[in-house]
A and B are shown apart, each in its own frame.
Chain A
Amino acid sequence: MKTRLERREHRSGLLFVAPLIAVLILVAGWPLARTLYFSLTDAYLDDSANHVLVGFSNFVEVAGDPVWWRAVRNTLIFTTISVAIETVLGLAIALLVHQAIPGRGLVRAAILVPWAMPVVVSTKIWEWMLNDQFGVVNRAIVGLGFADHGVAWTANGSLLLGVVIFIDVWMTTPFMVLLILAGLQILPEEIFEAAEVDGIPWWKRLWSITLPLLAPTIGVAVLFRVLDALRMFDLAYVLAGANVNAMTMSIYARDRLINNQELGVGSAASTMVFLLIAFVAIFIVGALRLDRSGATER
């Protein structure tokens, strides 16, 4: 039996979250429901009112399209490699910047620059720098005598995905540095002093103290980055359009939806992207909870 006070607190709690729920239904729930619905129809974008239900045939069509599987493969490769590099690099830079080195403030500010730039801008800048004839990168390579002629970075299909990963690492490592640095700064300093007095060498301090205590922070950072990378669209699209060598799942969905005007099939692809990301998110969050039971409290 709840007391009146409890009931009142419960009611005011509901009142406070009501606006948020209303907004969520409006901006997330409704479009999601529409997409789910259209994925079961044969609608076309130019006349979406005119359609019939076709069951799961759109999903079957997407699943039978080798281009879709290529996009899935690209996305997974991109996500795995870029997030892995960003995590290791981010951790290393955060540990470095965490030290009391001279000019630390300046370094911290400078590190943020790539992240603060719009994706389209940095992608375009890198595209120019990597241009096979006029790019500064090729100029340097040829000038320094590493090669006789420039490399066709963005035109060469096998290099394209690597270039996408490289630009993403350049852009989002600062985000990793920032999150891990924040995690480092809240670790109690005395624990590390205790280890220092106890004669624990630096690599053992890093491996047995810093990393386990930092695990929840790194976990959250990786979660953010993985979810972001799985739905990546802008970078690859600005750099290569619908080029199949760098096509991500999001670009595939957009391609079907806008270029081909196939609202039904595009919605089915979008739904599959959504399900895949949701699955990965649930998996990582679950793994984090398990980690967290041991590591946070002092």
Chain B
Amino acid sequence: MGSEKKPEKFVVSIGPQHPALKEPGHFEFGVEGEIVTSATARLGFVHRGMEKGTESRTWVQNLYLMERVCGICSHVHAMAYAQGVEKLAHVEVPPRARAIRELIAELERIHSHLLWLGVAAHEGGFDTLFMLSWRDRETVMDLLESITGNRVNYSANVLGGVKIDIDEAKISAIHKGMDFLEERTRHYMKVVTEDETFLGRTRNIGSMSLDLALRLGAVGPTARASGVTYDVRVDSPYAAYADFPIKVVTDTAGDLEARFVVRIKELYESFRVIRELIDHMPASELTTRIPRRMPEGEVVSRVEAPRGELFYYLKSNGSDMPERIKVRTPSLCNWGSVLSTAVGHKLADMPMILAGIDPCFSCNDRMVLVNQDNNLSTWSWEDLRQYGIEYYK
């Protein structure tokens, strides 16, 4: 009877405010029944104009602005920025300061990976793992507070070194904390690789082949779970990673389970390198003198954030304020992997696949102005502010 009707495509739109994650993002999943056939993401709900903001602050003030790009990995942002500025000024940071930078970075990785473990478990409906991993994460948060003076924005860096030193009391506290966390982490490894109900949510879900990971430019543990052997800490050592190296952790499966395994194995590596660092902490000054006006020039600074490669580009015109700072955070590189691996899975798996890259939304929002009539123009801070007010009206 009559011509056959093509089944209409149904689009499930989620966000910007949605129950899966605490940060805003808009997703549209085309579905056929329960199976996702297409996925798109729209970002940009938490753009804060920080890159522009750096241009009206001094080099010293910007250290604290850049530290606030991300709340979870605040130290690596400050470290990437400080290393870039030190490269601009041709200043060598003392070895003890470099070792302390690495120590804080690895402690931060533990806190970030444990946070992710909890969030990812929560998305999979495993709230016991969520609550207990966050309870144990308090151990490393308390350690960071006792070493640096704050739980989140540690402010351990200054341009030319670090502010804080570690003594015997702190060293023994770190040893105790690492022993407890290592025991707990080994237990969690057993849980995520053996618990049948949880494996149903992670094994063979969101699989990404090595080829696809390379093609999409994935970074960090997401890429390493697909077999990409790339880690800035090894391939281009910074801070004290040349003296206290880590081993790259990879997996070949490429699915969500592999991402759990890689991140937990990275925790083991962090525990090991932290113990080595505090046992063989080099003795030296903590800071070195650095000029207030940076010589003219441009540099690139890269570090391995908990989510992957973090990239900073700094340009100086010889004044006490930067001319341009460009930040590329790892979350942005991994969006492609979410959208391409989502296809073919059930709609219910989407929160897990999304959480699998450990996304940080406010880190990756940038503004791009497409100039169609070839008129070069520069936007001032005030223009940007007005545009924001109008946009959100």
Partners in one complex: no
Q: Which residues of B contact A (CB under 8 A)?
A: none
Interface residues of A (CB under 8 A from B): none
